Structure 1
Amino acid sequence: MPKGVKRNRGGDDDGDDGDRKSKRLKEQPDEETILDQLKPLKATLGKFLTGASTAQYRGGGVKIGGAATPGPLKATHKFEVNRIGRTSGCHTCGKAPNDVWISDHIPPKNLSESAILNYWPKWKKGSYRFFPHCNTCAEDQSKLVKKLNAIAKKKGAFPDLSAKEKKNIHHQDLSLSIKGQKAEASNNQRDEMQDFGDSDGCHTCKKKLASTKFDADHVPPQEFGTAYFQYALSALKIRVPKWQVRPQCKTCSRSQGDDVKQMGVKIRKILTENGLSVYK
């Protein structure tokens, strides 16, 4: 059993040793039950092990560790990943980084309501549009949203924004957008957003390149090095290959991150509900 997964000790301090031992034995987790509950996750776990890429991906990857834990990600690894990506594209969708635009919520879905209304007094709650966004402006927007949310939390005065900052959270040219909701964009909306980006560029900076860099995606995901994933993989007798990193576009990276996070929640829930304490 991995170090970060432990059996909860049953019983209490009352009664004799025999009673305490009996209580602990009764509360031991049923490993067969745990295995039965983990089995429906096996197919998805297997896909994560080899990456979400198709069999046609020929770019390969950069080795960074053994089977137990991934090694540290160095600048040389990132350089090599981007070299592979420029030739072979994203290992998940096959696209070059400049081909993948982010479907940006305007106003940003994580921006506090008070901040939105400060800069956009006529905004109707729940009204959003999707605009094509390059990765550089998306990162700038994320920093700005974090800054404004901190001010909103303290109920401070919101600062004046530069023209670019305003455009990054409140864009009025609706011809560049499609109507959305606070939820994530649908696949059809994402496809439509690629067309907007290719024709008009980023809605904030107008550049025609969505990105010039790939993320270095761990295959299998880094989370597989945690104790609860290791427990699940061992119970299901899934062999973990040696870690490597491959080029992945920002869109696929975000989507995969959400999927892995949800998988981790399911595994931890199964283990804890069956009497195991889970640590990273």
Structure 2
Amino acid sequence: MNSLLLRPLPSATTSGSLVGRVSPAAPRRPGAVAWPRDGRCRRGGVAAAGAWMEEAGTAVLEEAARRNPALSETYRPAGLPRPNGTVLEAQGRVCTGPEQTRPLGEELAMRVLDTILRSATGELKDEPVSSAQLGAFFAGMTIRANCFPEATQWSEGERRAMSLFWPRLVHVLPPEVKFIADPEGTIMGANGLTGPRYIGQGTAEMRLVGALREVLAGGHLGYEEIQCVLKDVLPFGSMGASSPSVSEALLAAFLIGQRMNRETDRELKGYCLAFDDELGS
């Protein structure tokens, strides 16, 4: 059998030559990029391609958001208040891992703590700092101070800002937030005496506080401890539901603290078992 690979190529001098033969132009759909026949990309073509891809991508995202609002970054239930933008920016920098954390400069640290102070005194009516934000932010600061490597611990600017604002914050923040900010009284000096004595209110909160002390020190928990804590707070209340069994600040501090400490396999097992029990899986 003659192999197709051994057949001679068409000669350039034969009547059936491929040289000079031009294929008919295919119909071009609207919005498509016209590429030059020499096969090289022109700068205008790249710009047109980028614009078309951006337009197409936006259309896909809009359609996905319409079908499933959970996929949209801008979707929020109408009754859910927005987080405070200044503190949210700080959370994005300090509530992360030992190598990823970006310490705040003095100017930003001053602005964040001033925002928290004005919110706690009732001055910020339009965009107050939520209890969950307070819990997450101060948990991040505490874990950084207690157990992060030197490069991602508090900057000098953060130290100066905290030394200026904490004497005023300690008079207006709720006890659970003061506990999160200095659980053992070793960070804020004489103004950090609430933490060592704090035990929480009610059985569920007392159990959460005990686990949170370990987390804020950079420690890890067994899966049974995780299960016990989560069983007290699941299901998470929806809008209009009754008040949660524990402080939102404490719960937020616990969840973000676990993430910052990088959960162990045992801790992840505890989360999986707790949610399986709750969802009936």
TM-score, L = length of structure 1:
0.24
Relative to total residues, which structure has the larger helix share, 1 or 2? Answer: 2
State which structure, 1 or 2, has the greater radius of gyration over its C-alpha atoms.
2
More strand by share: 1
Higher relative contact order (CA 8 A, sep 6+): 1
